[in-house]
Structure 1
Amino acid sequence: MIRILLALSWMLLTLFSYGQNKPVTFQRYTSKDGLSSNTIYSIYRDSYGFLWLGTEDGLNRFDGRHYNVYRYDANKANSLMANHISALSEDRKGRIWIGTNGGGLSYYDREADRIRSYNLTPDGKWLSTAINAIDQDANGNIWIASYGALYILDVNDLQKRWIRPIDVLWKRLPAK
Structure 2
Amino acid sequence: MNVNHMFFYILLLISIPFCFIQAEDTNLLFHHYQVENGLSNNMVTACVQDGDGYIWIGTRDGLNRFDGYSFKGFRQDSDNHSLGSNWISSLACDSTGSLWVGTLSGLYEYNPDNETFRHIPFTTNKSITDFKFDMHNNLWILLDGNLIKFNKANNEFKTFTHHGGQYYTSFCITEGDQIWIGDAQGDVSLFDTKQESVKVFNLFNQTHSSSPQKIRNIFPSAYSNKLYVAYEHDDVKVLDTRSGNYEDLNIQKISQLTFLINCILEKDSNELWIGTDSGLLIYRMDRKDCKRIQPNLQDSQSLSGHYISALYQDRKNGIWVCTQQNGINFHSPFQPFNVHYPGDSNNS
Q: In the alignment, which residue of structure 1 is the partner of 2:59?
A: 55
Equivalent residue, structure 2, for 1:86: 89
Partner of 2:196: 173
What residue identity is the alignment partner of 2:196?
L
- Structure with greater helix share of residues: 1
**TM-score for both structures, normalised by structure 2:** 0.39
Q: Give yes or no for contact 1:128–1:147 (8 Å, CA) kept in 2.
A: no
- Runs of 4+ deviating beyond 3 Å: 19-24, 167-172
- The 2-side partners of 1:147 and 1:135 are apart by 16
Partner of 1:123: none
- How far apart are 1:174 and its partner, in Å? 5.4
Paired letter, 2:41? S
Mapping of 1:1-176 within 5 angstroms? Answer: 20=23, 24-73=28-77, 75-101=78-104, 103-120=105-122, 129-155=126-152, 157=153, 159-161=154-156, 163-167=157-161, 172-173=195-196
**Computing the radius of gyration over CA atoms, which structure comes out larger, 1 or 2?**
1
**Alignment check: 8 A CA contact 1:119 1:127 kept:** yes
Q: TM-score, normalised by structure 1?
A: 0.73
Residues 62 and 74, structure 2, Cα contact 8 Å, conserved in 1:
yes
SS in structure 2 of the partner of residue 28 of structure 1 = strand
Structure ranking higher on relative contact order (CA contacts 8 Å, 6+ apart):
2
Q: CA deviation at 1:147?
A: 2.0
Confirm or deny: 8 A CA contact 1:97 1:134 kept in the other structure.
Answer: no
AA aligned to 2:137 is: G
Contact 2:50–2:98 (8 Å) recurs in 1: no
Letter in 2 for 1:130: S
The Cα shift of 1:129 comes to: 1.1
Partners of 1:20 and 1:80 lie apart in 2 by 42
Deviation track 1:6-35 (CA, whole Å, cap 9, x = no partner) reads: xxxxxxxxxxxxx84976421101011110
The unaligned stretches of length 5 or more in structure 2 are 1-21, 163-191, 200-348
Residue 148 to residue 78, structure 1, CA distance change in 2 (3 Å)? same
Report how many aligned residue pairs link the two structures. 148
Greater strand percent: which structure? 2
Partner of 1:16: none
Deviations, residues 53-76 of structure 1 (Å, cap 9, x unaligned): 110001111111111111111x21
Query: Percent identity at matched positions?
Result: 30
